[in-house]
Chain A
Amino acid sequence: MKNTMIALALGASLMGTTALAGDVRLMWYSDGVEGEVMKDLVARFNAENPGINVILDEVAYKVVQEQLQIQLEAGSGPDIARVTNIKTLAPHWLDLTPHLTDPEYWRTNFGAHADWMREDGSEAITGFMTQLTLTGGFANATLFEQAGVALPGEGATWDDWVNAADQVAKSQGTAAAFAIDRSGHRISGPAVSYGANYIAADGMPAPVDDGTKAFAEKLVAWVEGGQMLRDTWVAASGSTYRAAADDFINAAIPFYYSGSWQIANLSTKIGDGFDWVATGSPCGTAGCSGLAGGAALVAVKYTQNAEEVAKVMEYFAREDIVKEFSERTLFLPAHAGVVAAGGMNWQTEDKNVGAALDAYIAAAGDILPGADALPAWKWATPYYGALVNRISQVMAGELTLDDAYARIDQDITEAVAAAQ
């Protein structure tokens, strides 16, 4: 009976709908240590605001990816959520403007990324980025040093990095030279570096172009050649997301292409196991671009407690709170005031972290326009999904590259048709 009651209580809590006035449910996933930081901040908010009870529902990233959209389509869900699929779900976000004490504060400090989380043409204030991210590489400096291979310097191309990592892999007997997360988002910065452009003149998805093909061909060749770890991309089907962070952490690959959000994760799990460095994005023929992105904290329009939600959002968007959150989580802040003030006191004793964050801040200047446009582009998600699905089929020997390109175009066309 007790178990049944607990199960019912859990079930009710996961329904995600505010049951009581003053309750604000916050759906939160974590990549690193931010869940712990958020718990602390929520406890402090609740203590300072007796009339509002923020309930932190910590979930896996997969839940946010797969279940939140269904809840939102059904007109339910949490009151606030931390999401990465910000643009596609924009019709479900609440315009906080009428509930905010000072909307201008939001426009000034978070305006640069406001379009990422609202519908095209809208001026709504729906939330703010809890962190800015940038895709980029990490190298196991210890393995490179042990192999006697120099880390490729500024301006090094993807081929330079893969060749260098391959020498390290052969010398040190690692499973492969490198890995890229199984994600369309992750390969899009590099594809743009080879001249890819996903967006047609009318704002709709463009057919797969030579830039995308150039990087896709490289990916497939690297898998066939054994330089790129097969496990991450081949050992799954569809558009399933797979990170290769654990392989880097376990020193199974000397080079790993992921993004700035991994810094805290790597620092926590690698500890003093080996030295690692952030490398920025290797170069292609058109540039050395990563892809910006990040996670946003957004208010959901189906909330019954919009005023309370706005108060909670105002608290977490406060300059001192954003600064503290960023310093403790080792995330790049998105708050213009915090960035302008500088002087971040990153709370870590890991000597690799400060340098890594600096490297990512420097790499932000290399983002090409084609990549810069993607976070605010409505059709980015279907495009990413089709790329992953079909390129991994080529890697598994099921499709030729030409067939894959045709299928990618077809998948995107059908996804757009189904969504309209």
Chain B
Amino acid sequence: MTGVKGVLGAVVAAPLGWLARLLEAPLRLWQRLAGQTGMVAFFLLPNMAIFTVFVLVPLVINIAYSMTTGAALFLPERTFVGAAQFERLLRCTDYTDLMTCQEDQFWIALRNTGTFVVLQVSLLIVAATITALILNRALRALSFWRAVFFFPVLLSPVVVGLIWRWILDRNGVLNAALVGMGMDPVNWLLERNYAFSAAIGVTIWAHLGFFALILLAGLQAIPRDLYEAAEMDGTKPARVFWRITLPLLMPNMLVVIVLALIRAVQVFDEAYVLTGGGPGTATLFLTQYIYEVGFASLLKNPGLAAAASILMGGVLIVLTLLQLALGKRNERRGKLK
């Protein structure tokens, strides 16, 4: 072992040390010239450059696109139309009837996404909490069960979509089982409510393990003596959950809620592979609408897709700020404790 360490030291540490010595003098000089703040900026520069190239610049280009129209790809060749794309997206004669909206499918996607977010996040939180509570108990083969619940998280979303499509298809595994039991097959992906429920169920199945893991970490951080005291007082299990577990789990729960909200707003891959947005537009979500309008449709309109993505980005920014605020609040509470 020492031999291996020695070899590693010679191979890795020695050249690194040589490099550090080589850079020391110029870095010290730079620190003297730029000061401590300058050094911070210097070390942040590579990350900021990457962020600028891959996030900031595309964002600015996207905003510029949203104010243009035409089939051309390069901005200078596109026609400036100001806020016309946003106006087109948002214009409705009667906002209670989506069919009166000029871009009716944007509103349908918005409504579907809203419904999906409310239902999926609620069910996901409940399911993840129950799963975490079960996994927190001293079960036999606990590691195995934790792996079982976490396994879907490791799968590619496309694989998840395909697996469930094979199960729920007209000729799928589930219908084969129903027919085998003498029952009539069901068109799971062709009936609006079934397809929408399937999209919710599959995304919950795919992400449950991730959120359950976060909640499990929170549960394990709750001091055992609180439960022992409650037990000595003869407190009922339900009261223990509502009065001890849930309040102390709340910091993790809030993170889970915000992350789940963000993911739900962005729903695309699993649902797209599973239902293709159908039947009709029953599972057409915002991200798919943007993808269809910008890339896949025979009626491509990159400007309109960019405008829709900016509106969706607004929602995500609000949720992200919420997550940051909650993170800071948790941090402050942690310090106070």
A296 within 8 A of B: no
Chain B, interface residues (CB within 8 Å), range = 35 or more
Determine if A240 and B296 form an interchain contact, defined as CB atoms under 8 angstroms apart. yes
What CA separation (Å) do A388 and B304 show in the bound complex? 20
Query: Which residues of chain B have C-beta atoms less than 8 A from A417's C-beta?
Result: 69
Given A74-B73, A175-B170, A407-B104, check contact A396 B280 (CB 8 Å). yes
Minimum distance in angstroms from A188 CB to a CB of chain B: 13
Q: How many residues of A contact B (CB 8 A)?
A: 45
Question: Nearest-CB distance from A76 to chain B (Å)?
Answer: 10
Q: Chain A residues near B69: list those with CB within 8 A.
A: 417-418
| A392 within 8 A of partner (CB) | yes
Quick one: given A240-B296, A403-B99, A418-B69, are A393 and B281 in contact (CB under 8 Å)?
Answer: yes
Chain A residue at minimal CB-CB distance from B281: A237
Task: Please give the distance in Å from A68's CB to the nearest CB on chain B.
Answer: 11
Docked complex Cα distance between A242 and B189 (Å): 15
Contacts of A397 in B (CB 8 A): 192, 280
- Which of A65, A66, A418 is within 8 Å of B303, CB to CB? A418
Assembled-state Cα–Cα distance A403/B98 (Å)? 12
For A185, give the chain B residue with the smallest CB separation. B298
Chain A nearest CB, measured from B72 CB (Å): 7
* A404 vs chain B, min Cβ distance (A): 11
Q: Are B278 and A419 in contact (CB under 8 A)?
A: no
* Contact between chains at A235 and B278 (CB < 8 Å): yes
Interface of A (DSSP majority class): helix
Asked if A70 lies at the interface with its beta carbon under 8 angstroms from chain B, I say yes
From A135-143, A152-160, A331-339, A379-387, the one touching the partner chain is: A379-387
Of chain B, the residue at the smallest CB distance from A417 is B69
Question: Are B299 and A386 within 8 A (Cβ)?
Answer: yes
Question: Which chain A residues border B203 with CB–CB below 8 Å?
Answer: none
| Pairs A–B under 8 Å by Cβ, sample size 27 | A231-B190, A234-B190, A234-B278, A235-B279, A236-B276, A236-B278, A237-B105, A237-B276, A238-B284, A239-B299, A240-B277, A250-B171, A382-B298, A385-B299, A388-B298, A393-B281, A395-B280, A396-B278, A396-B282, A397-B192, A399-B99, A403-B99, A407-B104, A414-B301, A417-B69, A418-B301, A418-B303
Chain A residues within an 8 Å CB radius of B282: 396
> What's the A-B contact tally at a CB cutoff of 8 Å?
109
CA distance A130 to B25 in the complex (A): 67
CB distance from A269 to the nearest CB of B (A): 16
Cβ of A13 under 8 Å from chain B: no
| A410–B99 alpha-carbon span in the complex (Å) | 13
CB distance from A304 to the nearest CB of B (A): 20
Does A398 touch B at the CB level, under 8 Å?
yes
B70 within 8 A of A: yes
**Among A65, A234, A407: residue with most chain B CB under 10 A:** A234
Q: Cβ of A419 and Cβ of B298 under 8 Å apart?
A: no
Q: What are the residues of chain B within 8 A of A250 when measuring CB–CB?
A: 171
Chain B positions 254 through 292: 1 when the CB is less than 8 Å from some CB of chain A, otherwise 0: 000000000000000000000111111111100010001
Q: Is B146 an interface residue (CB 8 A)?
A: no
Contact with B along A59-71 (1 / 0, CB 8 A): 0000001110110
B71 touches A235 (CB 8 A): no
- The interface residues of chain A lying within 8 Å CB-to-CB of B292 are 237-240
Q: How far is the CB of B175 from the nearest CB of chain A, in Å?
A: 11
Residues of chain A within 8 A of B108, CB atoms compared: 398
Complex alpha-carbon distance, A224 and B88, angstroms: 33
Query: Once the chains are docked, how many angstroms separate the CA of A384 from the CA of B297?
Result: 11
B contact residues around A384 at 8 Å (CB): 298
